[in-house]
Structure 1
Amino acid sequence: MTNAFAADEAKAVYRAIQERRDMRHFAGGEVAPEVLRRLLEAAHHAPSVGFMQPWRFIRVRGEGLRRQLHDVVERERVLTARALGQREDEFMRLKVQGVLDAAELLVVTLADGREQHVFGRRTLPQMDLASASCAIQNLWLAARAEGLGMGWVSLFDPAEVGVLLGLPEGAEPIALLCLGPVHAFYEEPMLQRERWARRAPLASLVFDESWGRPSDLFDPLSSSSSSSPVEPT
């Protein structure tokens, strides 16, 4: 007896992972309410340390608030460009967000009162952020399966966003999620396509026993080295 998915079901999971993209170009349109509920349900089924469920989602529907959030992002974009030094001009040519263009804008925040959750966080308090990131990834993969693009915008001052959204003390925004129909998904990550960075070889990131010791998973003689269930895009 096996607990594995059927082959076509497993392949679909790996396809969503491989074809997920951080999208910056959107086609307007809308996301049907039942689809948005499914996506948020997927996010809410993410794992969380101590089952703390630290994620909160704020759906931004008003154009005025969207423009205010866009202004916050734009100010940080300029400051980030300056901090990049020699790459300032290159960065400013990149499209880094779709706050005004996407069908839906969701702000993900960490809940207030997180200090009460000690289980799994006594020595690693940042696990609240890790847990919320899992929820975002669930939403992202579900969106790709539904044929919708999503982009995670992190260029903002959390304090400014907190004031705009009326967050209680202790709550913290971590993401502006631009979500909606797109004309096409990028064939490769946008920042790789724009020659900003490239995906590191997996073999350089996996070690055996101790830091820096290459893993024999990637030994060319290993039969497992070519067993990926889906060809990468």
Structure 2
Amino acid sequence: MSSDDLTDAGPFGDADRAAVYRAIRTRRDVRSQFTARPVAEDLLRRLLQAAHHAPSVGFMQPWDFIVIRSPDVRARIKAAFDRANAEAREMFPKERRRLYSDLKLEGIAQAPVNLCVTCDRSRGGKVVLGRTQNMDMDLYSTVCAVQNLWLAARAEGVGVGWVSIFHDSDLRRILRLPDHVVPVAYLCLGHVDQLWAQPELQRRGWARRLPLDDLIHEDGWEPGPGRAD
């Protein structure tokens, strides 16, 4: 192995390391803060390149990226969301439905760019290194691509919102997905000037961040120090 095959694995400098942790800590799911400023093509390309450099089991790289700008396609996507969202509201207890209705859970029409990240479940063939026992590793790998894009977007001042309230069949029909391709994430992207200091669902009282110490286990599934048996 030559030195050309290797790269330095040392820690980042203080400023670079702090920037990585800042992107992780201040990333938000954006629904309503998008500005009208368009996302430049070279910037979008950088974000997609970041996603494409995500880890993937067996180096299968199962993701594809459908960039959606058409007002007609977006209108159909929005209608599919509205139908699913009305169904979802009724699944919650009555005392939570009012708050649910007050939450803005998508920015499909407002965001300059919509993006569907998909997983091609046939990529790499029938037998893929590392996927031989767990066939869902391609889906997990695709989610890593979403996270890469999200953190890169935070560093670029671009907000990202993940819209998950859809029927799979609606997305498949509207985006004309073949049977072997799964829609993993429907994302809204656009420049933002401000972000909430806390996740919006925490700020609105829907949920709270769990204490990390309650989620750490050692050598098996024993309760964390703050959790009952």
| Alignment-derived partner of residue 5 in structure 2 | none
CA offsets 1:15-60 (integer angstroms, 9 cap, x no match) = 1000100111112221111100000000000001111111111001
1:125 CA displacement = 1.5
The aligned amino acid for 1:100 is A
| Alignment-derived partner of residue 89 in structure 2 | 81
1:121 CA displacement = 2.0
Structure 2: any 5+ residue segments left out of the alignment? 1-7
Does the Cα contact within 8 Å between 1:27 and 1:181 map onto a contact in 2? yes
Does the Cα contact within 8 Å between 2:69 and 2:112 map onto a contact in 1? no
Q: Are 2:121 and 1:104 equivalent residues in the alignment?
A: no
User: In the comparison of the two structures, how many residue pairs are matched?
Assistant: 215
| Alignment-derived partner of residue 59 in structure 1 | 67
1:213 CA displacement = 4.4
Q: Are 2:178 and 1:171 equivalent residues in the alignment?
A: no
The aligned amino acid for 1:72 is A
TM-score normalised by structure 2 residue count: 0.89
Counterparts of 1:137-216 in structure 2 under 5 Å? 137-214=147-224
Distance in 1 separating the partners of 2:98 and 2:136: 34
| Alignment-derived partner of residue 50 in structure 2 | 42
SS at match of 1:58: strand
- Identity among equivalent positions (%) equals 44
Distance in 2 separating the partners of 1:6 and 1:178: 32
TM-score normalised by structure 1 residue count: 0.88
| Alignment-derived partner of residue 91 in structure 1 | 100
Deviates more, 1:180-189 or 1:85-94: 85-94
Does the Cα contact within 8 Å between 2:158 and 2:189 map onto a contact in 1? yes
RMSD: 1.6
Distance in 2 separating the partners of 1:188 and 1:104: 24
Does the Cα contact within 8 Å between 2:28 and 2:160 map onto a contact in 1? yes
CA offsets 1:74-129 (integer angstroms, 9 cap, x no match) = 11111111111322222111000000000110011111415624322232222111
Does the Cα contact within 8 Å between 1:158 and 1:174 map onto a contact in 2? no
The aligned amino acid for 2:115 is L
Does the Cα contact within 8 Å between 2:111 and 2:188 map onto a contact in 1? yes
